[in-house]
Amino acid sequence: MTREPIKTVIPAAGLGTRFLPATKAMPKEMLPVVDKPAIQYVVEEAVAAGSDDVLVVVGRNKNALANHFDRVTELEHTLERKGDASKLEKVMAASRLADIHFVRQGDPLGLGHAVLRARKHVGDETFAVLLGDDLIDARDVLLSRMIDVSRAESATVIALMEVEPSQIHLYGCAAVEETGEPDVVKVKYLVEKPAASDAPSNLAVIGRYVLKPEIFDVLEETGPGKGGEIQLTDALEALAADEQIAGPVLGVVFRGRRYDTGDRLDYLKSNLLLALDRDDLGAELGPWLKELAGQL
Ligand code: G1P
Protein backbone atom coordinates (compact mmCIF):
# COMPACT_ATOMS: atom_id res chain seq x y z
CA MET A 1 0.00 0.00 0.00
CA THR A 2 1.37 3.44 -0.79
CA ARG A 3 1.22 5.91 2.03
CA GLU A 4 1.68 9.64 2.11
CA PRO A 5 5.24 10.10 3.35
CA ILE A 6 5.54 11.35 6.90
CA LYS A 7 8.35 13.19 8.59
CA THR A 8 10.58 11.41 11.08
CA VAL A 9 12.25 12.87 14.14
CA ILE A 10 15.27 11.15 15.66
CA PRO A 11 16.38 12.50 19.03
CA ALA A 12 20.16 12.13 19.21
CA ALA A 13 21.25 14.66 21.78
CA GLY A 14 21.81 12.35 24.74
CA LEU A 15 25.16 12.48 26.48
CA GLY A 16 25.79 8.76 25.97
CA THR A 17 27.43 8.50 29.37
CA ARG A 18 27.07 4.71 29.47
CA PHE A 19 29.56 4.45 26.63
CA LEU A 20 32.25 6.84 27.83
CA PRO A 21 34.95 7.33 26.76
CA ALA A 22 33.81 6.21 23.27
CA THR A 23 31.14 8.92 23.33
CA LYS A 24 33.38 11.70 24.59
CA ALA A 25 33.71 13.28 21.13
CA MET A 26 31.05 11.35 19.23
CA PRO A 27 27.30 10.89 19.70
CA LYS A 28 26.35 7.40 20.83
CA GLU A 29 24.15 7.13 17.72
CA MET A 30 27.38 6.98 15.69
CA LEU A 31 28.64 3.85 17.46
CA PRO A 32 28.94 1.11 14.85
CA VAL A 33 26.66 -1.89 14.97
CA VAL A 34 28.69 -4.42 12.96
CA ASP A 35 29.87 -1.88 10.36
CA LYS A 36 27.17 0.80 10.23
CA PRO A 37 26.46 3.55 12.74
CA ALA A 38 23.36 2.75 14.79
CA ILE A 39 21.57 5.83 13.47
CA GLN A 40 21.86 4.66 9.87
CA TYR A 41 19.77 1.57 10.66
CA VAL A 42 17.16 3.87 12.17
CA VAL A 43 17.08 6.20 9.16
CA GLU A 44 16.84 3.17 6.87
CA GLU A 45 13.88 1.91 8.89
CA ALA A 46 12.13 5.29 8.58
CA VAL A 47 12.72 5.37 4.83
CA ALA A 48 11.49 1.79 4.43
CA ALA A 49 8.24 2.84 6.17
CA GLY A 50 7.79 5.62 3.64
CA SER A 51 9.43 8.59 5.35
CA ASP A 52 11.39 10.91 3.09
CA ASP A 53 12.29 13.68 5.53
CA VAL A 54 14.28 13.12 8.71
CA LEU A 55 15.02 15.65 11.41
CA VAL A 56 17.80 14.71 13.81
CA VAL A 57 17.75 16.55 17.15
CA VAL A 58 21.41 16.88 18.00
CA GLY A 59 23.54 17.82 20.97
CA ARG A 60 27.07 19.08 21.24
CA ASN A 61 28.62 16.56 18.85
CA LYS A 62 26.58 17.32 15.79
CA ASN A 63 29.38 17.20 13.23
CA ALA A 64 29.96 13.47 13.09
CA LEU A 65 26.24 12.92 12.41
CA ALA A 66 26.01 15.64 9.78
CA ASN A 67 29.16 14.39 8.05
CA HIS A 68 27.94 10.82 8.00
CA PHE A 69 24.85 11.72 5.99
CA ASP A 70 26.75 14.09 3.70
CA ARG A 71 28.77 13.34 0.56
CA VAL A 72 32.53 12.80 0.98
CA THR A 73 33.76 13.58 -2.51
CA GLU A 74 37.44 12.92 -1.77
CA LEU A 75 36.76 9.41 -0.52
CA GLU A 76 34.27 8.79 -3.34
CA HIS A 77 36.88 9.80 -5.96
CA THR A 78 39.54 7.59 -4.39
CA LEU A 79 37.23 4.58 -4.41
CA GLU A 80 36.14 5.38 -7.97
CA ARG A 81 39.78 5.50 -9.11
CA LYS A 82 40.40 2.15 -7.45
CA GLY A 83 37.27 0.74 -9.11
CA ASP A 84 35.95 -0.39 -5.72
CA ALA A 85 32.23 -0.22 -6.54
CA SER A 86 31.05 -2.09 -3.46
CA LYS A 87 32.80 0.24 -0.99
CA LEU A 88 31.73 3.26 -3.04
CA GLU A 89 28.13 2.12 -2.73
CA LYS A 90 28.53 1.78 1.05
CA VAL A 91 29.94 5.28 1.33
CA MET A 92 27.22 6.84 -0.80
CA ALA A 93 24.25 4.95 0.65
CA ALA A 94 23.89 7.12 3.75
CA SER A 95 23.90 10.38 1.78
CA ARG A 96 21.22 9.14 -0.59
CA LEU A 97 18.74 7.89 1.98
CA ALA A 98 16.50 10.89 2.63
CA ASP A 99 16.41 14.60 3.19
CA ILE A 100 18.19 14.88 6.53
CA HIS A 101 17.91 18.00 8.67
CA PHE A 102 19.39 18.90 12.01
CA VAL A 103 18.25 21.03 14.91
CA ARG A 104 20.10 21.54 18.16
CA GLN A 105 18.42 20.69 21.42
CA GLY A 106 20.35 23.26 23.45
CA ASP A 107 19.78 22.23 27.05
CA PRO A 108 19.35 18.46 27.33
CA LEU A 109 16.09 18.66 29.29
CA GLY A 110 14.71 15.25 28.33
CA LEU A 111 13.12 13.29 25.49
CA GLY A 112 9.91 15.35 25.59
CA HIS A 113 11.95 18.52 25.24
CA ALA A 114 13.90 17.04 22.31
CA VAL A 115 10.64 16.21 20.51
CA LEU A 116 9.36 19.73 21.15
CA ARG A 117 12.41 21.06 19.32
CA ALA A 118 10.95 19.47 16.16
CA ARG A 119 7.79 21.56 16.28
CA LYS A 120 8.72 24.12 13.61
CA HIS A 121 10.05 21.51 11.22
CA VAL A 122 7.13 19.13 11.59
CA GLY A 123 4.33 21.70 11.51
CA ASP A 124 0.74 20.52 11.64
CA GLU A 125 1.24 16.91 10.57
CA THR A 126 1.36 13.44 12.05
CA PHE A 127 5.01 12.40 12.39
CA ALA A 128 7.17 9.52 13.59
CA VAL A 129 9.73 9.55 16.40
CA LEU A 130 12.41 6.87 16.34
CA LEU A 131 14.93 6.41 19.15
CA GLY A 132 18.39 5.26 18.17
CA ASP A 133 18.86 2.90 21.11
CA ASP A 134 16.28 0.48 19.78
CA LEU A 135 17.04 -1.25 16.51
CA ILE A 136 14.18 -3.11 14.89
CA ASP A 137 15.16 -5.95 12.57
CA ALA A 138 14.52 -4.85 8.99
CA ARG A 139 12.80 -8.19 8.32
CA ASP A 140 10.08 -7.49 10.91
CA VAL A 141 7.26 -5.00 10.46
CA LEU A 142 6.60 -2.32 13.04
CA LEU A 143 6.69 1.30 11.93
CA SER A 144 4.59 0.90 8.80
CA ARG A 145 1.96 -0.95 10.84
CA MET A 146 1.96 1.89 13.39
CA ILE A 147 1.50 4.48 10.65
CA ASP A 148 -1.40 2.49 9.17
CA VAL A 149 -3.08 2.15 12.58
CA SER A 150 -2.61 5.86 13.25
CA ARG A 151 -4.24 6.75 9.93
CA ALA A 152 -7.10 4.29 10.27
CA GLU A 153 -7.99 5.29 13.84
CA SER A 154 -6.83 8.89 13.79
CA ALA A 155 -4.77 7.88 16.83
CA THR A 156 -1.45 8.47 18.50
CA VAL A 157 0.37 5.14 18.30
CA ILE A 158 3.19 3.83 20.47
CA ALA A 159 5.18 0.60 20.13
CA LEU A 160 4.96 -1.86 23.02
CA MET A 161 6.85 -5.02 23.75
CA GLU A 162 6.60 -7.57 26.53
CA VAL A 163 9.64 -7.52 28.82
CA GLU A 164 10.64 -9.41 31.93
CA PRO A 165 9.08 -7.74 35.00
CA SER A 166 12.61 -7.18 36.33
CA GLN A 167 13.34 -4.97 33.29
CA ILE A 168 10.25 -2.75 33.32
CA HIS A 169 11.95 -0.08 35.45
CA LEU A 170 14.05 0.77 32.38
CA TYR A 171 11.04 1.72 30.25
CA GLY A 172 7.79 3.56 30.00
CA CYS A 173 5.06 1.09 30.93
CA ALA A 174 1.49 0.92 29.60
CA ALA A 175 -1.77 -0.20 31.19
CA VAL A 176 -3.85 -1.43 28.27
CA GLU A 177 -7.11 -2.97 27.19
CA GLU A 178 -7.73 -5.16 24.17
CA THR A 179 -9.16 -3.98 20.86
CA GLY A 180 -10.58 -6.18 18.12
CA GLU A 181 -7.12 -6.49 16.56
CA PRO A 182 -4.64 -9.02 17.96
CA ASP A 183 -1.60 -6.73 17.73
CA VAL A 184 -3.30 -3.48 18.76
CA VAL A 185 -4.20 -2.39 22.30
CA LYS A 186 -5.77 0.72 23.71
CA VAL A 187 -3.55 2.55 26.18
CA LYS A 188 -5.41 3.38 29.39
CA TYR A 189 -2.48 5.05 31.11
CA LEU A 190 1.31 5.23 31.08
CA VAL A 191 3.97 5.39 33.77
CA GLU A 192 7.60 6.28 33.08
CA LYS A 193 10.07 3.73 34.46
CA PRO A 194 8.00 2.30 37.33
CA ALA A 195 9.40 -0.05 39.96
CA ALA A 196 8.43 -3.65 39.12
CA SER A 197 6.04 -3.63 42.07
CA ASP A 198 4.17 -0.56 40.74
CA ALA A 199 4.12 -1.53 37.06
CA PRO A 200 0.59 -1.93 35.65
CA SER A 201 1.79 -4.50 33.07
CA ASN A 202 4.91 -5.98 31.52
CA LEU A 203 4.36 -3.99 28.32
CA ALA A 204 7.30 -1.67 27.78
CA VAL A 205 7.29 1.36 25.51
CA ILE A 206 9.99 0.79 22.91
CA GLY A 207 11.43 3.66 20.95
CA ARG A 208 8.91 4.07 18.12
CA TYR A 209 6.09 6.59 18.20
CA VAL A 210 3.61 7.94 15.65
CA LEU A 211 2.50 11.27 17.06
CA LYS A 212 -0.13 13.81 16.13
CA PRO A 213 0.80 17.49 16.13
CA GLU A 214 -1.36 18.10 19.23
CA ILE A 215 1.48 16.53 21.21
CA PHE A 216 3.43 19.78 20.89
CA ASP A 217 0.91 21.85 22.88
CA VAL A 218 0.83 19.14 25.52
CA LEU A 219 4.64 19.04 25.70
CA GLU A 220 4.73 22.82 26.15
CA GLU A 221 2.67 22.30 29.30
CA THR A 222 4.54 19.23 30.56
CA GLY A 223 6.74 19.91 33.56
CA PRO A 224 9.77 17.89 34.65
CA GLY A 225 8.93 14.29 35.51
CA LYS A 226 11.04 11.24 36.30
CA GLY A 227 14.69 12.20 36.74
CA GLY A 228 13.77 15.90 36.55
CA GLU A 229 13.40 15.57 32.75
CA ILE A 230 10.53 16.54 30.46
CA GLN A 231 9.24 13.11 29.60
CA LEU A 232 7.52 12.19 26.35
CA THR A 233 5.73 9.46 28.32
CA ASP A 234 4.10 12.10 30.55
CA ALA A 235 2.76 14.00 27.52
CA LEU A 236 1.42 10.73 26.07
CA GLU A 237 -0.19 9.96 29.43
CA ALA A 238 -1.99 13.33 29.25
CA LEU A 239 -3.33 12.37 25.80
CA ALA A 240 -4.42 8.93 27.01
CA ALA A 241 -6.22 10.54 29.96
CA ASP A 242 -8.23 12.89 27.74
CA GLU A 243 -9.23 11.66 24.31
CA GLN A 244 -10.77 15.06 23.55
CA ILE A 245 -7.28 16.42 22.96
CA ALA A 246 -6.20 14.24 20.04
CA GLY A 247 -8.19 11.01 19.95
CA PRO A 248 -7.07 7.72 21.46
CA VAL A 249 -3.57 6.48 22.25
CA LEU A 250 -3.09 2.99 20.83
CA GLY A 251 -0.23 0.55 21.18
CA VAL A 252 1.07 -1.81 18.51
CA VAL A 253 2.49 -4.85 20.29
CA PHE A 254 5.74 -5.86 18.62
CA ARG A 255 6.77 -9.50 18.75
CA GLY A 256 9.69 -9.34 16.34
CA ARG A 257 13.42 -8.91 16.74
CA ARG A 258 14.59 -5.83 18.62
CA TYR A 259 18.18 -5.04 19.48
CA ASP A 260 18.89 -2.75 22.40
CA THR A 261 22.06 -0.84 21.68
CA GLY A 262 21.69 1.62 24.55
CA ASP A 263 23.24 -0.66 27.13
CA ARG A 264 26.82 -1.94 26.81
CA LEU A 265 26.08 -5.61 27.29
CA ASP A 266 23.04 -5.54 25.00
CA TYR A 267 25.07 -3.54 22.50
CA LEU A 268 27.68 -6.30 22.37
CA LYS A 269 24.97 -8.95 22.02
CA SER A 270 23.30 -6.94 19.22
CA ASN A 271 26.56 -6.79 17.30
CA LEU A 272 26.99 -10.56 17.55
CA LEU A 273 23.37 -11.36 16.64
CA LEU A 274 23.39 -9.10 13.60
CA ALA A 275 26.84 -10.28 12.48
CA LEU A 276 25.73 -13.92 12.77
CA ASP A 277 22.98 -13.16 10.25
CA ARG A 278 25.37 -11.58 7.78
CA ASP A 279 26.53 -13.55 4.73
CA ASP A 280 30.05 -12.13 4.91
CA LEU A 281 30.60 -12.73 8.64
CA GLY A 282 28.17 -15.31 10.00
CA ALA A 283 29.77 -18.42 8.50
CA GLU A 284 33.02 -17.82 10.38
CA LEU A 285 31.63 -16.14 13.47
CA GLY A 286 29.15 -18.92 14.33
CA PRO A 287 31.65 -21.78 14.68
CA TRP A 288 34.10 -19.46 16.49
CA LEU A 289 31.42 -18.51 19.03
CA LYS A 290 30.60 -22.17 19.61
CA GLU A 291 34.25 -22.94 20.19
CA LEU A 292 34.60 -20.00 22.53
CA ALA A 293 31.48 -21.06 24.45
CA GLY A 294 33.03 -24.50 24.92
CA GLN A 295 36.04 -22.88 26.60
CA LEU A 296 34.02 -20.77 29.06
C1 G1P B 1 13.04 6.46 26.74
C2 G1P B 1 11.61 6.71 27.20
C3 G1P B 1 11.00 5.42 27.76
C4 G1P B 1 11.10 4.32 26.72
C5 G1P B 1 12.57 4.14 26.26
C6 G1P B 1 12.64 3.16 25.11
O7 G1P B 1 13.84 6.20 27.87
O8 G1P B 1 11.60 7.73 28.17
O9 G1P B 1 9.65 5.63 28.08
O10 G1P B 1 10.62 3.12 27.26
O11 G1P B 1 13.12 5.39 25.81
O12 G1P B 1 13.96 2.91 24.74
P13 G1P B 1 15.47 6.21 27.81
O14 G1P B 1 15.86 4.84 27.40
O15 G1P B 1 15.85 7.26 26.82
O16 G1P B 1 15.90 6.54 29.20
Residue 3: per-residue pLDDT: 66
Are residues 73 and 79 in contact, defined by beta-carbon separation less than 8 angstroms? no
Q: d(Cα 282, Cα 293) in Å, to the nearest integer?
A: 16
Give distance in angstroms: CA of 35 to centre of ligand 1: 25
Q: Is the CB of 205 under 6 A from ligand 1?
A: yes
Please tell me the residue having the least CA distance from ligand 1 atom 13: 171
Residue segments in the chain with a per-residue pLDDT below the cut of 50: none
CA 172–ligand 1 middle distance (angstroms): 6
74 CA to middle of ligand 1, Å? 39
Q: Is the CB of 234 under 6 A from ligand 1?
A: no
pLDDT digits (tens, 9 = 90+) for 235-251: 999 999 999 999 999 99
Domain 7-262 superfamily per CATH: Spore Coat Polysaccharide Biosynthesis Protein SpsA; Chain A (3.90.550.10)
Nearest atom of ligand 1 to the alpha carbon of 14: 15
Q: Ligand 1: does its nearest atom lie under 6 Å from the Cβ of 131?
A: yes
- Residue 15 confidence (pLDDT): 85
Report CA(186)–ligand 1 centroid distance (Å).
Answer: 20
Q: How far is the CA of 73 from the centre of ligand 1 (A)?
A: 37
- Ligand 1 midpoint to CA 295 (Å): 36
Nearest CA to ligand 1 atom 7: 171
Other CB atoms within a 10 A radius of the CB of residue 220 amount to 12
Give the separation between CA 47 and CA 69, rounded to whole angstroms: 14
Among protein residues, the one with the nearest Cα to ligand 1's atom 5 is 171
Per domain, the residue ranges of the chain are 7-262
Per-residue pLDDT of 49-64, as tens digits, reads 999 999 999 988 888 9
Q: Give the chain as a DSSP string.
A: ------EEEEEE----GGGTTTTSSS-GGGSEETTEEHHHHHHHHHHHTT--EEEEEE-TTHHHHHHHTS--HHHHHHHHHHT-HHHHHHHHHHHHSSEEEEEE--S---HHHHHHTTHHHH-SS-EEEE-TTEEE-TTS--HHHHHHHHHHHT-EEEEEEE--GGGGGGSEEEEEEE-SSTTEEEEEEEEES--GGG-S-SEEEEEEEEE-THHHHHHHH----GGGS--HHHHHHHHHH-HHHHS-EEEEEP-S-EEE-SSHHHHHHHHHHHHHT-TTTHHHHHHHHHHHHHH-
Residue nearest to atom 10 of ligand 1 (CA): 171
Write the CA distances from 24 to 16, 30, 121, 268, 278, integer angstroms. Answer: 8, 12, 29, 19, 30
Residue 72 Cα to ligand 1 middle (Å): 33
Ligand 1 near 134 CB (within 6 A): yes
CB 212 within 8 A of CB 126: yes
